[in-house]
Structure 1
Amino acid sequence: MQRLLQSLLVCLIVAAPIGAAAQQFTTMKGHGGPVMGLDVNQSTGQVATASFDNSVGLWQNRAARWLEGHDAAVNTVLFLGPDRAASAGDDFAVILWDLASGAASRLTGHKGKVVALAQSPDGAVLASASWDGSIGLWSLVAPDRAPRFLTGHEAGVNAVAFSHDGTQLYSASADGTIRVWDIADGSSRILTNQGFGVNCILLGPDGAWLAYGAVDGVTRVIDAENGDQLADFSLERRPILSMDHHPATHQLAVGDGHGYIMIIDTARWQIARDFRAMRRGPVWALAFSTDGQTVLAGGLEDVAYSWPVSLLDEFDPAGGAERSFLRDPDEMPNGERQFMRKCSICHALTPPPSRKAGPSLYNVFGRQAGTLPGYRYSETLAGSDIIWTDKTIDALFDSGPDHYIPGSKMPMQRITAPNDRQDLIAYLRRATAPKQEN
């Protein structure tokens, strides 16, 4: 009975405040796609979420306020103080947000998706990690100043962290290395070579240790100066995708691809809890509440969750409610299956408005591309003369959006079999048709 009541809280409690008194399983619902990033404002306790739906959500008092400005999925969000934040995404951009007015300042220069951000201890510099292999250094006191870019990794950069005196920067890369950079002259050295891609790093509060998680499931703590191993918490789960640390309570949270959150006691270097958080992994985003009593997580579902740390062992995994893009494809007719695989995570079939990354497909047949009111189209698609018909939808998936409409925000994907394309079109004809009123 206790587990049943706790499971029901998932559906009944929406976006409860995350503070010292939070002692229940809470959910933050409203995004139109997976939750890729999380942060908690240490000054106000406000929660920010970054989503595949191209938006940032600001959560407080059971409601979300949406920051819209990215042209693709938002991978990470970071509070820069009580009234500022930064976000970054698949559109290669970093955006600075004035939280009072919602005004946005767009920082450009990267040539690949931006997946992580870090602020220097003095608050003056923002570092960005990009899959173009570079690290961007942006002035927060003079945003118009040209950025610096640090290069040296041989693959995409996944994470960055400043040293406590701000003179050095740690970076982790898909090339398997963690580097230490001298901010003044841009030189770097390899701290450790993991061999497999390193997804996340976290520097301890005294700067003596650095924790990292890798593609092969390795979770290690090393000396931040010489790279010597201090502890190993690797389990039979991979990849490691997210980390957060709460210094006052000595808790290090680690999220992986199987939906687990491991809580490590950094005072004793022991695993304190190991919790199956998500019924359907992965755990892409993690953050502690300001008091460390609550841990928040985001992943494949369009919901962010939080749990009281002290009660983690008493909860069943989250994600029991069925999401359309998570349904078993073997249970669907072929046309619906093609839609779920290729379209459903970005597009709704219901009338607008929609919080998904792409425009609603409701009544799409006969519509001119780039004309649905309220959706921010790319310049390429907004100026297109394409009319969506059986023929143009077939051509779109035959050659792929990147060839059919070069420069659009639609992802690179094809449906090569003609019968699969025809089944998809037939399904869309039925599913997007305007509903007859009684």
Structure 2
Amino acid sequence: MHRVSLSDSRRSTGRFRRSLAAGLIPAALVAVAFATGAGAETARHPDTAVSWPDVLAGHGGPVKSVQMSPDGQRMISTSFDYSARVWTAPAEGASLAEPQVLIGHEAAVNDARFLPGNRAATVSDDSDLIIWDLGSGTPLHRFPGKGEKVLSLEVSDDGAHIGVASWENEARIYDLTGPEPRLEATLSGHRNNVNALAFSPEGDKVWTASTDGAIRRFDRVTAALERQLFSLGWGINTLKRLDDGRSLLFGGADGTVGLIDGESGFDLGRLTPHSRPVLALAVSPDGRRLASGGGDGLIHVHDRATQTLIETFETPYGPVWGLSFDPEGTALYYVGLDDTIHRWQITPRKPFEPLEVTYPRRFQVADADDPGALQFARKCSVCHTLTPDDGNRAGPTLYGVFGRKAGSLPGYPYSDALLKSDIVWSRESISQLFEHGPDVVTPGTKMPIQRMRSPDDRLALVTFLEKATRPTSGGSAASQDTTGDTVK
């Protein structure tokens, strides 16, 4: 394991950015506005005697969001691997237990929140909202969407309502107060994708933010659009309400981080911008600190009262997709393209912060002796492994894929489209998959759209995969460590 210092982090992020510009990271992952191992340090919450490790590992793909419960006892995370995971803080002196795994969505799970009554809610690229019983780990209710992804959700302060931000150009409000949860209202009026929303303290007003650049306020009870409060001119990716009940913190596609009044729309100030889109925001429980994470791999923390920048942290993995403060507001948990959840201690700031990670990660390879291995790192490695002992990530392992019928690997939750497919994976069918794209060759599947127009690149990838995934007498594929992670 390679220990990465902050200076290493800055150099590695520069390499990541160059890799991103060169197309090494799948566009389908980056276009969306990083988790069991413990680090050397642990997070201590004296009031609750909670000790969290610095690293939580267990997801099989990039982590989309992370949210800590108000008491610091639990954490819920969502991933490109189609799952949400509920983590429980270990007792003092104990190690972290395996997380509870919630599997039910048919695509990447984008966001999650805890609900009263030992429940949770999740939303996904499959368009659905699922309410979970955390006692049994099973779905209590499933609300189908309209086919487009739902990027985020929020819960009213009293826990009575859930709002989801849909790429159907609308937000949907669900009432949890009756014997059965129900769809209460659909909030329409945006001209493009709705990315985020927030409730007023009383739960009677809803603010929405959209790719069309606007923040709008709705009456939750009547579903009426009250007014457009603000227009950035660029898409707005994320939105948080502050604890004064009316101030809104927003993050834009142009890197803007700003504050507006939720009643008048008056501009309350701009914070340190990001050089790439803002993808995540967090507000400390006491309301004193505001955090933003961007596609530039930076996390900024500001003092709310003075709007001054307190600290900046540069991750080694690129885009920051999710942020959550601990109950004291002294540390942030952040996630993105890596499979893990990481903790950054804001105060007291450490002079040196080693990260117990392997670098480069499989998706950060910039060059390789085998051009096919490079194409695998660019196009496939975020979702797939090559050996049976690595198991499944967001997609199934490719070990033994040649000659295998599509949708037939035991233990992987395939889409109906692949389960019903007659495709047998071969040099020809895999090459066609990348020539035309999964949306053409396997319509209805959950595979990100990846195309390779160059015949030479497709040939190199197929040739590499045929060798790297071939079963051997020892039970592992004959491949090399060409993607940053160990491949046996």
Structure 1 and Structure 2 fold alike (TM over 0.5): yes
**Alpha carbons 1:116, 1:158 under 8 Å: kept:** yes
Once the 2 structures are TM-superposed, how far is the Cα of residue 434 of structure 1 from its aligned partner?
A: 1.2
**Alpha carbons 2:284, 2:329 under 8 Å: kept:** yes
CA distance in 1, matches of 2:144, 2:355: 37
How do 1:37-76 residues align onto structure 2 when only pairs under 5 Å count? 37-43=65-71, 45-60=73-88, 61=90, 62=96, 63-76=98-111
Structure 2 residues not aligned, in runs of 5+? 9-35, 91-95, 476-488
CA distance in 2, matches of 1:4, 1:135: 42
Deviations 1:392-421 (A, max 9, x none): 212222222111121112222222222222
**Alpha carbons 1:92, 1:108 under 8 Å: kept:** yes
Give every structure 1 segment of 4 or more consecutive aligned residues whose post-TM-superposition deviation is greater than 3 Å: 2-7, 14-25, 141-144, 315-320
**Alpha carbons 1:6, 1:315 under 8 Å: kept:** no
Q: 2:175 aligns with which of 139, 144, 155?
A: 139
Once the 2 structures are TM-superposed, how far is the Cα of residue 386 of structure 1 from its aligned partner?
A: 1.6
Once the 2 structures are TM-superposed, how far is the Cα of residue 332 of structure 1 from its aligned partner?
A: 4.5
Structure 1 residues 94 and 171, CA gap change in structure 2 (3 angstroms): same
Once the 2 structures are TM-superposed, how far is the Cα of residue 14 of structure 1 from its aligned partner?
A: 8.3
User: Which residue of structure 2 aligns with residue 242 of structure 1?
Assistant: 280
2:281 counterpart letter in structure 1? M
1:134 counterpart letter in structure 2? E
**Alpha carbons 2:246, 2:262 under 8 Å: kept:** yes
CA distance in 2, matches of 1:15, 1:101: 32
Matched, 1:98 2:133: yes
Deviations 1:120-157 (A, max 9, x none): 22322110001221101112234453453211111111
Matched, 1:129 2:153: no
**Alpha carbons 1:94, 1:107 under 8 Å: kept:** yes
**Alpha carbons 2:372, 2:462 under 8 Å: kept:** yes
Deviations 1:149-179 (A, max 9, x none): 2111111111100001111001111100011
User: Which residue of structure 2 aligns with residue 205 of structure 1?
Assistant: 243
Which piece of structure 1 moves more, 87-96 or 333-342? 333-342
User: Which residue of structure 1 aligns with residue 472 of structure 2?
Assistant: 435
Return the structure number with greater relative CO, CA threshold 8 A, min gap 6.
Answer: 2
Q: 1:13 aligns with which of 36, 39, 56?
A: 39
- Percentage of matched positions with identical amino acids: 37
**Alpha carbons 1:92, 1:112 under 8 Å: kept:** yes
Q: Secondary structure at the match of 1:398?
A: helix
Aligned-pair Cα RMSD in Å: 2.7
Q: Secondary structure at the match of 1:258?
A: coil
Q: Secondary structure at the match of 2:174?
A: strand
Q: Secondary structure at the match of 2:243?
A: coil
User: Which residue of structure 1 aligns with residue 301 of structure 2?
Assistant: 263
Q: Secondary structure at the match of 1:310?
A: coil
2:229 counterpart letter in structure 1? L
Which piece of structure 1 moves more, 10-19 or 146-155? 10-19
Matched, 1:288 2:316: no
CA distance in 2, matches of 1:4, 1:405: 43
**Alpha carbons 2:38, 2:53 under 8 Å: kept:** no
Structure 1 residues 334 and 394, CA gap change in structure 2 (3 angstroms): same
User: Which residue of structure 2 aligns with residue 194 of structure 1?
Assistant: 232
User: Which residue of structure 1 aligns with residue 145 of structure 2?
Assistant: 109
Structure 1 residues 159 and 315, CA gap change in structure 2 (3 angstroms): farther
User: Which residue of structure 2 aligns with residue 388 of structure 1?
Assistant: 425
Structure 1 residues 153 and 431, CA gap change in structure 2 (3 angstroms): same
Once the 2 structures are TM-superposed, how far is the Cα of residue 11 of structure 1 from its aligned partner?
A: 7.3
CA distance in 1, matches of 2:207, 2:44: 30
2:162 counterpart letter in structure 1? L
Structure 1 residues 41 and 231, CA gap change in structure 2 (3 angstroms): same
Structure 1 residues not aligned, in runs of 5+? none
TM-score normalised to structure 1 length = 0.91
User: Which residue of structure 1 aligns with residue 156 of structure 2?
Assistant: 120
Structure 1 residues 35 and 336, CA gap change in structure 2 (3 angstroms): same
2:114 counterpart letter in structure 1? F
CA distance in 2, matches of 1:208, 1:34: 33
1:73 counterpart letter in structure 2? A
Once the 2 structures are TM-superposed, how far is the Cα of residue 80 of structure 1 from its aligned partner?
A: 1.3
Which piece of structure 1 moves more, 55-64 or 266-275? 266-275
Once the 2 structures are TM-superposed, how far is the Cα of residue 116 of structure 1 from its aligned partner?
A: 0.8
Structure 1 residues 365 and 15, CA gap change in structure 2 (3 angstroms): farther
Matched, 1:218 2:288: no
How do 1:296-375 residues align onto structure 2 when only pairs under 5 Å count? 296-312=333-349, 314-316=351-353, 318=355, 321-322=358-359, 324-351=361-388, 354-375=391-412
Matched, 1:155 2:223: no
**Alpha carbons 1:241, 1:255 under 8 Å: kept:** yes
**Alpha carbons 1:349, 1:432 under 8 Å: kept:** yes
TM-score normalised to structure 2 length = 0.83
Aligned pair count? 434
Q: Secondary structure at the match of 1:91?
A: coil
Which piece of structure 1 moves more, 117-126 or 187-196? 117-126
User: Which residue of structure 2 aligns with residue 279 of structure 1?
Assistant: 316
**Alpha carbons 2:272, 2:300 under 8 Å: kept:** no
Structure 1 residues 14 and 368, CA gap change in structure 2 (3 angstroms): farther
Which piece of structure 1 moves more, 301-310 or 12-21? 12-21
**Alpha carbons 1:250, 1:265 under 8 Å: kept:** yes
Once the 2 structures are TM-superposed, how far is the Cα of residue 3 of structure 1 from its aligned partner?
A: 9.1
